[in-house]
Structure 1
Amino acid sequence: MPTASLNDIQMHFEKDGNGTPVILIAGMLSDSASWGPLIAPLLENHTVIRPDNRSTGRTTPKLAPTSPQQNASDILALMDHLQIKQAHIVGHSMGGYIAAELAACAHERIKSLTLLCSAPLNLKRSWHLFQTLCDIRKDGPEGLWLRSLFPWLFHHRFFDKPEQIEGAVAASLAYPYAQSLDAMQHQLDALKEYAPKDMAHQLNVPTLALLAENDLIVPHGEALDLLSQIPQSSIHTIPQSGHSVHWDAPTEVLAHLIPFLKEHNNGN
């Protein structure tokens, strides 16, 4: 179980494969286990590193101070710990905030930046959604908060098979490193304070942005406007996919991601 003493935490991370490093940064409520469909294809040519952000997975203490900026500092410290001079950085949703903060403060360490269903905007609607989920989790029947979350995450095709829904609920409840309610609230309270003002103009690295056509969390038009302000950006919309685009449409995500990583593999 690889861990690293970084700043004021013990960070858990997964590290597999060989080749140019790719660091995958999970979003809100998620950890290193959230990247399933992308891992095997990326391992063909890369070292894939998946950290557990503060308040998630096996990183401790669970209630350590957290923010996208602090998580970005942790990733940079992890790169130093692993003696990685440069890496590709991929962030999903809130993980995209972390990835962008890292690219803004240490662009010389970044070969490329990929944002999945993420843009430099923090909507109060999102706070309301996650706070409602916290309240449901606190007072509602077991699993109800997950059933309430899934329509926001997945394309409507996910719900065509009831057994798929039940399997996802059961797997989430059985996951031994699931985020606790206290850690979930702690992470949300930190997110409410985040203000990614003018972040797009601070990103001076090759950037791939993949948006989901049917994303209910990140509004497509507003995200597109902001992402287009990134100087070295390539933006694509994945059809028939929701916010968890790498689960809804992994083949399409990889069709953009793998050539992009290959294109920007040069450097130190």
Structure 2
Amino acid sequence: MPLAEAPGARLSFEATGTGTPIVFVHETAADQRSWEPQVRWFSRFHKCITYNSRGYAPSERSAEPADFRTLATDIGHVMDAAGVDQAFIVGLSMGAYFAMHFGLAHPERVCGMVLAGLGTGSDDITQFRTATRAVARAVRSQGIKAFVDQVVDSSHRVQLQNKDVRGWNEFLMHLSDLDPHGAADLMEFCHATRPPIYDFEAMLHGTKIPTLIAVGDEDTPCIPPALFLKRTIPRSGLWICPKTGHAINLEEPGLFNRAVQDFIYAVQQGAWTDRDPRSLAKTVVRVMER
């Protein structure tokens, strides 16, 4: 795979297909392979770019652990290496957090963004940071199995396990491949220090980037953040996938692909516009004066 040059690390990426570019940004418990159901479909019409974040082999670990700003900026370095000036950015979980920050920092490079499963920990940031640091310590001392054990018992992961045994086993196999040091660095120096998404309300309210917010209806930690994003981002839409947990692109790849495809088409046709201010009224029935 080619490598993108970024300050402090080289990042492995892959580009497939031609057309309007889409950059897919993976979650913490996976790498670029998790986007295979999307690349197989969208590469028929688009240039699909996937990459592994720092510490996810064969991408390099930074000598100095990276924070969320550095990891978000890496999206631009991958785009540069792929010869792409502007793209749709599709992120899941951690990848959605990076996509959001890249869009806020570089709106001129983003045609639109899909923020899926974004916001875990935002509603109890102290507990989230404490738990994340504990998992990072366990991964450093026990290896990647400590992370696998954490994911297996997660309330928003059992949905994939119940729906798709083969998909679940493949997910666990890929998760078991991850470098424990890279994963622990990410948890300790990015996730355990990143601000909750609510801290960026003013910036999100001011963005004009067309945005699709996607969440599974059983991804409980991400539902309040999804509603917040819908209320805050003027040019946004909210898609809730029923009977679905966190790995929405793997659990329901057909539905997810259709939602993303419809979003991209609407943006390209100029039909993904700001919310009509009349829809912001707090009541649906007006009191009529006599």
Note closer, same or farther for the CA distance 1:266–1:20 as it changes in structure 2 (3 Å cut): farther
Note closer, same or farther for the CA distance 1:144–1:194 as it changes in structure 2 (3 Å cut): closer
SS at match of 1:113: strand
Which residue pairs with 1:263 in the alignment? Answer: 266
Q: Distance in 1 between matches of 2:237 and 2:186?
A: 30
Which residue pairs with 1:67 in the alignment? Answer: 67
Q: Distance in 2 between matches of 1:132 and 1:164?
A: 28
Which residue pairs with 2:182 in the alignment? Answer: 183
Which residue pairs with 1:147 in the alignment? Answer: 149
What is the TM-score with the length of structure 2 in the denominator?
A: 0.79
Which residue pairs with 1:244 in the alignment? Answer: 247
Which residue pairs with 1:214 in the alignment? Answer: 218
**1:8-157 matches, cutoff 5 A:** 8-119=8-119, 122=122, 123-138=125-140, 143=145, 145-152=147-154, 153-156=156-159
Cα-to-partner distance string for 1:222-250 (whole Å, 9 max, x where unaligned): 43123321010000111011111111111
Q: Distance in 2 between matches of 1:162 and 1:89?
A: 29
| 2:87 maps to amino acid | A
Contact 1:38/1:250 (8 A) holds in 2: yes
Note closer, same or farther for the CA distance 1:47–1:222 as it changes in structure 2 (3 Å cut): closer
Deviates more, 1:73-82 or 1:10-19: 73-82
SS at match of 2:232: coil
SS at match of 1:11: strand
Q: Distance in 2 between matches of 1:26 and 1:179?
A: 15
- The alignment covers a number of residue pairs equal to 262
Deviation at 1:215, TM superposition (A): 0.7
Contact 1:97/1:119 (8 A) holds in 2: yes
Which residue pairs with 2:2 in the alignment? Answer: 2
Cα-to-partner distance string for 1:141-167 (whole Å, 9 max, x where unaligned): 984541331342424462478787666
What is the TM-score with the length of structure 1 in the denominator?
A: 0.85
Deviates more, 1:191-200 or 1:129-138: 129-138
SS at match of 2:261: helix
Q: Distance in 1 between matches of 2:175 and 2:147?
A: 11
Match of 2:227 among 224, 227, 231: 224
Q: Distance in 1 between matches of 2:120 and 2:168?
A: 31
Stretches of structure 2 that go unaligned for 5 or more consecutive residues are 271-290
Q: CA RMSD for the aligned pairs?
A: 2.7
SS at match of 1:264: helix
Bigger-Rg structure (1/2): 2
Deviation at 1:208, TM superposition (A): 0.3
Contact 1:86/1:109 (8 A) holds in 2: yes
Percentage identity across paired residues of the two chains: 20
